[in-house]
Amino acid sequence: MKKFRFKLETLLKVTRMNKEQAQVALALATREVEEAREQLNLYLQEMAQGHKDYAELTGAGKTISLGRLMTFNSFFNWKREQIESQQRVIMEKQAVRQKKMQELVAVMNKLKSIEQLKEKRLQQYMAEALQEEQKQLDEIGGQLYFRNQG
């Protein structure tokens, strides 16, 4: 009997490559989310340090110049804008990551279906091969029986 050959082997290989590409894309998207979060943490630390510096300059009845007060006010507004912008960036990157996750799940489901089909076809092939072998053994047994009878 001829060797087992899965007709969709090329599709199976391409789907496996697509799965690997989807995994890489998900990893990159995850890294981008983490980097965006790290940047947000940096902005939050800078804001906290600014508040600490402001508290030191204005604490215990100390006076502060109008120019310096305006500088702090500008700094805090700028940091708030950076923080809000970074929060939007994080949300966008999380949406991209979620999309990449869905793409990976879809490719994995397709791969699983093709692999199950291959396994089913292999089982059919093995059953047919066993049946063919049994048929040949029966023919040999019949020939031996008739030869011994004659």
Write the single-letter amino acid at 122: L
CB 9 within 8 A of CB 115: no
pLDDT at position 147, please?
A: 82
pLDDT at position 63, please?
A: 84
User: Per residue in 76-105, pLDDT tens?
Assistant: 999 999 999 999 999 999 999 999 999 999
Residues of the chain with pLDDT under 70: 1, 150
The predicted model scores a pTM of: 0.77
pLDDT at position 1, please?
A: 67
Dihedral class, residue 112 (left if φ above 0, else alpha if ψ from -120 to 50, else beta): alpha
Residue 72 CA to residue 68 CA, distance in Å, equals 6
pLDDT at position 150, please?
A: 64
C-alpha count within 13 angstroms, C-beta hemisphere, residue 4: 15
Q: If 0-12 CB within 10 Å is exposed, 13-18 middle and 19+ buried, where does residue 33 land?
A: buried
Question: Any idea where the domains of the chain sit in the sequence?
Answer: 9-110
pLDDT at position 92, please?
A: 98
According to the CATH classification, is domain 9-110 in 1.10.287.1700?
Answer: yes
